[in-house]
Structure 1
Amino acid sequence: MDNQKESIAFLRAANAPTMPPPVSDRGVIGWLRANLFASPRDSVLSILVLLLLVWVVPPIFKWAVTNAVWNGTSRDDCIGPEVGACWAFVKAKFGQFIYGRYPIEERWRVNLTGLLLIIGLVPIAMPTVPYKRENAVYLLIVFPILAFILLTGQLGLEPVETSRWGGLLVTLVVAIVGIVVSFPLGILLALGRRSEMPVIKMFSIIFIEFWRGVPLITVLFMSSVMLPLFLPADVSFDKLLRALIGVALFSSAYMAEVIRGGLQAIPKGQYEAANAMGLTFWQGTRLVTMPQALTLVIPGIVNTFIGLFKDTSLVLIIGLFDLLGIVQQNMTDPNWISPVTPATGFVFAAFVFFIFCFGMSRYSAYMERRLDTGHKR
């Protein structure tokens, strides 16, 4: 009996060869099965979305590509029963869409300013690049001075009034200044609203609630029309400067509430730990609480930046022609009036806004992954 048991026993001397997963669980088929057809409900929704795409995408592609007019010199090239997008209009007006009425022979100054911005922005956005402090000094101090000299015309350059600026140039100027100014101001207002000093707390509350309680259009209108009425006759502010101040103050109120939400989300033990280490209020804020708060509210901060970038189109109400405003203005050009010109111009403006907003959104997602802000279980 013992010999019989020993004869049927088996002991593997080597590992079994590794077998590949089933064909249905790998490659394209595996991805489709796991992501689109994992359950009957997923299968039904995937089929409905596919049918919707089949119904929507071909006409859009036909309008934007197949039947589009890519080259032309006037509206006559964009008129016809089967004519799609008039990209010839965008091509002819592209310079104005970017620079507005900035002198053509001086547009190199705008290009140089954009290049200087990229030179400072790309390294500071890459976490692995060193010299962050020096880079920040360049972006916050050196670059604004250089940009002011180049764009307005100082040190021997031909002066260019801000009333001649327009297009993407104005959009970026308003958005960048609003973002740069509103962020530190929002931090101070958030700290002020949480302060134990009654005067500072009350001032911060009144400031935040006032600016959040009025529409941005009203702020721009007041800064452009009403503010000069309260100034001496010999004192005047540039229209663009007034718009920049209004946008920055308006955005700072929203930024303050986003940052205050991050401060309130930090456990009380972090504040107690900073006090136990003998840190002053500002040291504890700079080294302990504020870095954690900003990390927690990255989505909210970027969302405020994106909203500010899109709200720049409202400066049209005070006579500043940003990208959307300059597109609308050129739609009335008699040489390019056609049934498809407005749709083409709006699609182009929407695409440009989408590129910038989507870029900010993707960078925000990248920073969230890098800082590991998600609470994983």
Structure 2
Amino acid sequence: MEEQVAAYVAREQKQPLPPPPSEFGTVATLRKNLFATPFDTIITIVLGLFTAWAVWRLVQWGFATAVFTGENREACLAGEGGAVGACWAFVHAKLGQFVYGLYPLDQRWRVDLLFALLAVLMVPLAIPTAPYKRLNAILLVLVFPFVALVLLTGGNIGLSGGWVAFLFIIAAFISSALAAGNVTASAKLLKVANGLALVGLLVLLAANVVASGRVTFLDFRFSMLSLFAFFLALGSIGASVLSSLGAREPRHAGVLRILLPPLVTAVLIAVLAADFGLQHVPTNLWGGLMLTLVVALTGIAASLPVGILLALGRRSHLPAVRLFSIIFIEFWRGVPLITVLFMSTFMIPLLLPEGVTFNQLLRALIGVAIFSAAYMAEVIRGGLQAIPKGQYEGAQALGLGYWQMMRLIIMPQAIKLVIPGIVNTFIGLFKDTSLVYIIGLADLLGTVRRGFSDPNWITPTTAATGLVFAGFVYWIFCFGMSRYSMFMERRFDTGHKR
């Protein structure tokens, strides 16, 4: 009996059995996902036939019957050979205009150099393992805009004294806000700084209606009122610096932070007024993909920080700040972008101080930045609301001030949570740049549409070919932003999975 029992005991590891043929392999996968039921089978066949038909028609139109070379419209007209598909010869002939607009031919190297610099700075910054991230970010955020402005315009932009006073008043307000971020700063001196900056702005606005003499100061032509406003701005900056000298943080750190806005303003004015020996190219000659990138990158760079400030303002405990942020966000979110562009084009000149003028491109950039900042503020506010209250309490328990808490603890977590919303706003902004064509700026889509009116290339397929080309370019940029967003989500997705 014992020998019979021992005969059934396994003496070695048994190999696992293979899965059933009905659950493994290509046939099983297709049966499970596409042909599981009769209804699934019908839908799969119908959609498969439609997809095959659509792909065949696109390949036939875009490649099989397309025209890739030609000197004029005659190459893209249907002859004895039958119908003609896409007129890629039109895209090839107009490619320079699609990229540069009406930028002078002998100066397009400046745009190419700018594109190369942008790629050199952005690619290492986008790679997580690349070194020198801080230096790269400083070059991209602080240095590259000045270089781009000089390369695209040529520099030597004549600035009036009103412009100088206006820029320094803005710098004075920013310096005052930075000084107020330190809770131990002198409250009396901060009130003096804010008062001087506000009076300077009012004096500069009064220069529009009050006649005053002209005077030259620092090689700039001031009116007497604008010069007085300039000195008031300098006094405001000085009061902000003095307010931080008695603060608890190291004096040099507080002073350098407060002096950064006026220093950047001074560098900007020096760059705009300097003569670099380049041919001046007015903005009405800019166009094509170059103009699209200028509008999109400016809107993206401005909307994120402004949106963060508006989101913080909407959650502020100060009634005036909260009310202003709510009114700003709700007003601009309730107005279409086309209306915002028209408002910025025709109303901004009415609100500017004497001697300060904005060209059409700058007015459009302001409108796009304000519009996108309102949407960005709500995205950031959603991330702030997702942060547990314990994070705020822990930061306060460590003795961190408000701005330190936001910069070091709260905001990094909030931004990480709303990366999809941020990138979605950026993608929408990039596509909305095509609306600047309404106010006379020839972006990529506007330049393509202008090419349709060229009598040398008017054919039945020219418009469709140009629009497909423009749509493909927009898709490349938007798809790239989307994929990079997904990559960053996976990289930062820590502590949220179970």
**Superposition TM-score, scaled by structure 2 size:** 0.72
Count of matched residue positions in the alignment of Structure 1 and Structure 2: 375
Aligned ranges 1:9-28 → 2 under 5 Å: 9-13=8-12, 15-17=13-15, 28=26
Q: 1:148 to 1:324 in 2, by over 3 A?
A: same
Question: Which deviates more, 173-182 or 53-62?
Answer: 53-62
User: Counterpart in 1 of 2:458?
Assistant: 337
Q: Distance in 2 between matches of 1:114 and 1:192?
A: 36
User: Counterpart in 1 of 2:75?
Assistant: 77
User: Counterpart in 2 of 1:173?
Assistant: 294
Letter in 2 for 1:167: G
Question: Residue deviations 1:62-94, cap 9 Å, x none?
Answer: 111101111111111111141001000000000
Residue 233 of structure 1 and its aligned partner are, at CA, apart by: 6.9
User: Counterpart in 1 of 2:285?
Assistant: 164
Letter in 2 for 1:67: T
Q: Distance in 2 between matches of 1:119 and 1:296?
A: 28
Question: Which deviates more, 49-58 or 349-358?
Answer: 49-58
Question: Which deviates more, 364-373 or 337-346?
Answer: 364-373
Q: Distance in 2 between matches of 1:364 and 1:225?
A: 37
Letter in 2 for 1:195: S
Residue 20 of structure 1 and its aligned partner are, at CA, apart by: 6.0
Question: Which deviates more, 312-321 or 36-45?
Answer: 36-45
Letter in 2 for 1:60: L
User: Counterpart in 2 of 1:109?
Assistant: 110
Question: Residue deviations 1:196-243, cap 9 Å, x none?
Answer: 011111111111112112111111111112322444675421211111
Aligned ranges 1:231-310 → 2 under 5 Å: 231=352, 234-310=355-431
Q: Distance in 2 between matches of 1:364 and 1:47?
A: 34
- Segments of structure 1 that go 5 or more residues without pairing to the other structure are none
Aligned ranges 1:1-377 → 2 under 5 Å: 1-6=1-6, 8-13=7-12, 15-17=13-15, 28-29=26-27, 31-33=29-31, 35-37=33-35, 42-80=40-78, 81-154=82-155, 155-231=276-352, 234-372=355-493, 375-377=496-498
Q: 1:230 to 1:280 in 2, by over 3 A?
A: closer
Letter in 2 for 1:5: V
Residue 185 of structure 1 and its aligned partner are, at CA, apart by: 0.6
User: Counterpart in 1 of 2:204?
Assistant: none
Q: Distance in 2 between matches of 1:93 and 1:23?
A: 57
Question: Residue deviations 1:264-323, cap 9 Å, x none?
Answer: 112222222222222222222122211111111111000000000000011111111000
Q: Distance in 2 between matches of 1:243 and 1:26?
A: 59
Question: Which deviates more, 320-329 or 221-230?
Answer: 221-230
Q: Distance in 2 between matches of 1:4 and 1:227?
A: 101
Question: Residue deviations 1:78-136, cap 9 Å, x none?
Answer: 11141001000000000000000001111110000000000110011111112211111
Question: Which deviates more, 180-189 or 74-83?
Answer: 74-83
User: Counterpart in 1 of 2:242?
Assistant: none
Q: Distance in 1 between matches of 2:409 and 2:378?
A: 19
Question: Residue deviations 1:325-353, cap 9 Å, x none?
Answer: 00000100000001111101100000000
Q: Which has the larger radius of gyration?
A: 2
Residue 27 of structure 1 and its aligned partner are, at CA, apart by: 5.7
Letter in 2 for 1:292: Q
Q: Distance in 1 between matches of 2:102 and 2:410?
A: 47
Question: Which deviates more, 271-280 or 139-148?
Answer: 271-280
Q: Secondary structure at the match of 1:236?
A: coil
Q: Secondary structure at the match of 1:335?
A: helix
Q: Distance in 1 between matches of 2:488 and 2:344?
A: 36
**Superposition TM-score, scaled by structure 1 size:** 0.94
Q: 1:198 to 1:131 in 2, by over 3 A?
A: same
Q: Distance in 2 between matches of 1:30 and 1:291?
A: 46
- Segments of structure 2 that go 5 or more residues without pairing to the other structure are 156-275
Q: Distance in 2 between matches of 1:153 and 1:12?
A: 86
User: Counterpart in 1 of 2:172?
Assistant: none
Q: Distance in 2 between matches of 1:99 and 1:160?
A: 12
